[in-house]
Chain A
């Protein structure tokens, strides 16, 4: 028998209570994993979509919505003329309810622009030209909408032909309805407007040149920002709000976990008062008692963290399959997030055990002779 056995026996003394406490921490950690994973996933999914389209810089005006505010499409020509700009592609990206789906990404692009090039036809064909009233569906979007080439798609008040299914190479692209810019402008009554400019810089451009380019773009269109593609979504206030809410909710869940462990450990100390006094009476140092209580609570945190990560992953996978989220993001459950979550759980355990451990260290061994 080693010290760890002593600690585990302490936890197993009340298996139901230990189990419930563990579940409490697990739910808190599952919330951290799920909320932060989804929030980060939103960022990485959008970044990966940009990367797939070969975009270096994104010009947009991210306001309070998840999609950028529209601006005059004419600025695109002026930006295209700037030094170090290799190519531009104007986009109008909206989130809208489409037929049976509550929310889908509708991504309209300059016909012939480079943002079409990453799309690989897996069924049907591409639209003949920008004037054709047609859409191609990302493969996930096609599954969600249950559409195949030859079907019709109702977009607002217009009916368009589904002419092809594409593999976009990224979750966001695969979950999108993709059409020519002029088609969506007509449908949504936003003629002459775009809300994103995908921009490729000239190969070999230096960092200083890129910075100057971004400044020049801001001078042309002051209400918009030119940012590196991977940072684009971070400029959205809505995204920031979602991110803050994710962390806020996670923090609350963790706080509940702390109170749960503290309550359990305090109960443990009160219940095992005489047991602790006996250990003191037979020569255990107070430091060892404190270590025992802290290790018990740290183990509660560790096991709770591991179970929480598993619950979190399962929860995220289930959420990912729901129609509201499917095709819009791929949760970012990277190993660092999972390990950090377990780390948070262990810290929660140790912090929760501090007060009970201090209480246990104040007990007097003479109580062992009572009762």
Chain B
């Protein structure tokens, strides 16, 4: 947990609050985000959906403090993320990332990959190893702990990546197209796993996708187009779009 950021939800339970959130690239030539206003409450499960280039990954970068907004504010537990002095501590303690391409480090075994985020925690080596095996067990891969990523299937790699994202007990799981590189069978397994973890660990789950079917499985959906939010509500009411 990041000691610099309060781990207690605000009274209102609001985790993220964005006001007029803007992101521009190439000296303002490209508007990736155009004045977004939204809130995400603690423990929520939502999907951000939209066609390629609509700004959903940029939004995820802002939520994960991987990049800074060009304008507006984005608060996490009432504190501005852009003013946050130690973004790495926030990333290490508060959020877990799941990437479309898994992004496991090839020279490390499954268990070692899971241990990597824990280097920024105070856990000693033995505890790191135990925790990694526990997490791999939680995603059903304890028996594959000593395998290198090259020996794992796509679905297994993503499960290892999910275990890694949980390493420091984050409050938020940010998943960027987590099933984008998987077949339908593994897609089902990964989604079930993410929803189960969300339920069991009371984590906030933000799922980026361009798949309407996946978006409809989360209670709330935020639809984006050309850097703007065009829909924010129950996923059952989500209007169809061309991806």
Show the binding face of A for B, using Cβ within 8 Å: 1-3, 5-6, 9-10, 12-13, 274-275, 278-286, 288, 364-366, 368-369, 371
A-B contact count (CB 8 A): 79
**Across the interface, do B99 and A288 meet the contact criterion of CB distance under 8 Å?**
no
| Chain A proximity of B163: nearest CB distance (Å) | 12
The verdict on A364 contacting B67 (CB below 8 Å), with A9-B107, A10-B107, A369-B60 known, is yes
Q: Besides the contacts A280-B91, A368-B97, what 11 more A-B pairs have beta carbons closer than 8 Å?
A: A1-B111, A279-B105, A283-B88, A284-B88, A284-B119, A285-B89, A285-B120, A365-B91, A366-B66, A368-B99, A369-B60
**Across the interface, do B93 and A283 meet the contact criterion of CB distance under 8 Å?**
yes
**Across the interface, do A283 and B92 meet the contact criterion of CB distance under 8 Å?**
yes
**Across the interface, do A368 and B103 meet the contact criterion of CB distance under 8 Å?**
yes
When chains A and B are docked, how far (Å) is the Cα of A328 from the Cα of B234?
A: 92
Show the binding face of B for A, using Cβ within 8 Å: 57, 60-61, 64, 66-67, 88-89, 91-93, 97, 99, 101, 103, 105-108, 111-112, 115-117, 119-120, 125, 128-129, 164-165, 167-168, 176
| Chain A proximity of B48: nearest CB distance (Å) | 13
**Across the interface, do B93 and A1 meet the contact criterion of CB distance under 8 Å?**
no
Among all A-B residue pairs, the 4 with the closest Cβ atoms: A283-B92, A366-B66, A283-B91, A282-B117
| Most chain A CB neighbours (cut-off 10 Å) among B60, B103, B111, B168 | B103
**Across the interface, do A369 and B115 meet the contact criterion of CB distance under 8 Å?**
no
Does more than half of chain B's interface fall in helix, strand or loop, or is it mixed? Answer: helix
Contacts of A1 in B (CB 8 A): 108, 111-112, 115, 125, 128-129
| Chain B proximity of A365: nearest CB distance (Å) | 5
**Across the interface, do A9 and B57 meet the contact criterion of CB distance under 8 Å?**
no
The verdict on A281 contacting B91 (CB below 8 Å), with A3-B119, A10-B107 known, is yes
**Across the interface, do A288 and B119 meet the contact criterion of CB distance under 8 Å?**
yes
| Chain B proximity of A147: nearest CB distance (Å) | 62
When chains A and B are docked, how far (Å) is the Cα of A135 from the Cα of B183?
A: 93
Contacts of A368 in B (CB 8 A): 66, 97, 99, 103
Contacts of B115 in A (CB 8 A): 1
The verdict on A282 contacting B116 (CB below 8 Å), with A1-B128, A275-B105, A369-B57 known, is yes
| Chain A proximity of B162: nearest CB distance (Å) | 12
| Chain A proximity of B231: nearest CB distance (Å) | 23
| Most chain A CB neighbours (cut-off 10 Å) among B66, B89, B115, B120 | B66
Contacts of B99 in A (CB 8 A): 278, 368-369
| Most chain A CB neighbours (cut-off 10 Å) among B101, B105, B106, B176 | B105
